[in-house]
């Protein structure tokens, strides 16, 4: 399989832009980082399939009202990358949020085609 990448995009710059868009709640800019047919998997939700579904999640379903991602590390190449860090903010009901996270990405043509988020909580 040949993976085409956008020459001016790096894993670091794509992850930085993703969290800039999300943390600033710039939903109109989600298409800059997610492919139209992107799939986003995260705990507690069925797979979010397609840019429109991902946008709906961020605008209407996500419990977060405000906050910021702090990325500790981005690793891998642009075709397949991962990052980890911490999110601090507030939920829609005002509860303080402080959560470690890790993401994996598959990238196509400089945009995220697949994203999976993990949280650092005991689950099993």
Per-residue pLDDT of the chain in tens (124 residues, 90 and over written 9): 444 544 578 999 999 999 999 999 999 999 999 999 999 999 999 999 999 999 999 999 999 999 999 999 999 988 999 999 999 999 999 999 999 999 999 999 999 999 999 998 876 5
Task: Give kind and range of the element (H or E) at residue 21.
Answer: helix 11-23
pLDDT of 63:
94
d(CA 110, CA 19) in angstroms, rounded, equals: 15
Largest CA distance in the chain: 46
Give the pLDDT of residue 2: 44
C-alpha distance across the termini of the chain, in Å? 36
What sign for the dihedral angle of Cα 87, 115, 57, 122?
negative
Q: pTM of the full predicted structure?
A: 0.90
Residue 116 burial by CB count (10 A; 0-12/13-18/19+): exposed, middle or buried? middle
> Burial letters for 29-46: b for 16+ Cβ neighbours within 10 Å, e otherwise?
ebbebbbeebbbebeeee
- pLDDT of amino acid 122: 72
8 A C-beta contact, residue 101 and residue 85? yes
């Amino acid at each position: 399989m040949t993976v085409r990448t956008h020459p001016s995009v790096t894993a670091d710059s794509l992850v930085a832009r993703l969290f800039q868009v999300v943390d600033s709640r710039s939903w109109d800019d989600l298409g800059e980082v997610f492919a139209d047919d992107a799939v986003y998997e995260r705990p507690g939700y069925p797979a979010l399939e397609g840019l429109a579904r991902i946008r709906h999640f961020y605008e209407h379903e996500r419990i977060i009202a405000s906050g910021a991602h702090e990325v500790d590390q981005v690793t891998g190449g642009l075709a397949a990358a991962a990052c980890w860090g911490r999110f601090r903010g507030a939920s829609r009901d005002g509860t303080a949020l402080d959560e470690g996270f890790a993401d994996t990405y598959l990238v196509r043509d400089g945009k995220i085609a697949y994203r999976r988020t993990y949280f650092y909580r005991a689950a099993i």
